[in-house]
Amino acid sequence: MPDLVDQDRDAIRTWLQTDPNRARVRWYNDVAGPVEWTHDGKRYRIIVLIRHIVQTATGQPPRAQLWPPNWYRAQDGRTLHQIAEPLP
């Protein structure tokens, strides 16, 4: 989750930490469903999954504009756009 997000960060973080699979996705090169959420094994568009997580964790819809590539990070801390930037 980006640092400057106007959401209830503590509620989202706590909800994600309750089950380690909630914070994990697997990437697929598929526009219709590029991420598989480890928590439920279903594939999602990134923004749909982020909205679902925020709503479930906080009980309310996202309060800020969501830019999905900034929400997902590799284990080394790089965001999706940082990973994709150097690719040809």
**Counting Cβ atoms within 10 Å, is residue 50 exposed (0-12), middle (13-18) or buried (19+)?**
buried
The average pLDDT across 5-22 equals 85
* pLDDT tens per residue across span 49-78: 989 999 999 999 887 777 666 667 777 888
Checking if the pLDDT of 4 tops 70, the result is no
Indicate the pTM of the whole model: 0.73
The average pLDDT across 23-32 equals 89
Place of tokens 């909800």: 15
Average pLDDT, the chain: 83
Residues forming beta bridges with residue 81, ordered by sequence position = none
Tokens at 22, concatenated: 């909630």
